[in-house]
A and B are shown apart, each in its own frame.
Chain A
């Protein structure tokens, strides 16, 4: 069975702090894709990144970076120099076939000025 665990329910930081959101996944498949989505108060899920199981390179996009480690089945997300606009719920998700995403329970990030 596929499972995604986001152990951090809520994180509060002050603006400009760095913050890391943890994601641990379980799957027996050798080919799979991992995603991060952001859900602002408006409700829609906004795609942030996709990573396949064969590519363990870390990725950086502006203030965002992702660390994928197959050895520990983790796909962590770091925001550098957080901003108030980063406040949202962040979801990690696993796709093992046909657009069926298995989501974690989400981490609510609160960035205060």
Chain B
């Protein structure tokens, strides 16, 4: 069974640009969550999608957005990039049964903003 796939693995962008990251969940998983990991702030929840609807959102500015497609694949977009957006972005998929289901994570996309 294939795991969670995130593309690309590495990205270098210039301040002010925008970026789109992609996440393909495990087959059958309909919930996709996104997290930002930085040395200073640690792992922080960005948002969660289920059946193409955002169910939960973390405390991030509106420059961070996401969406989910009918096949459960998800994308997140960051507009007007800032240096502080440099981070490892992790995607997780899970069966949306409830809070007791574990999330399976991808290897992440490492974004560097210069």
Interface pair B42/A103, CB less than 8 Å apart: yes
Contact with B along A48-63 (1 / 0, CB 8 A): 0010100000000000
B21 at the interface (CB under 8 A from A): no
C-alpha spacing A47/B101, complex, angstroms: 11
Q: Which residues from chain A contact B108 at a C-beta distance below 8 Å?
A: 43-44
Q: Enumerate chain B interface residues (CB-CB to A < 8 A).
A: 3-4, 31, 33, 35, 42-45, 48, 50, 55-56, 58, 88, 90, 92, 94, 96, 99-108, 110
Q: How many residues of A contact B (CB 8 A)?
A: 26
Secondary structure call for the B interface: strand
Q: Which residues from chain B contact A95 at a C-beta distance below 8 Å?
A: 99-100
Decide yes or no: A101 and B103 within 8 Å by CB, A43-B88, A44-B108 being known contacts. yes
Decide yes or no: A101 and B45 within 8 Å by CB, A44-B106, A45-B90 being known contacts. yes
Decide yes or no: A47 and B58 within 8 Å by CB, A99-B94, A101-B45, A106-B42 being known contacts. no
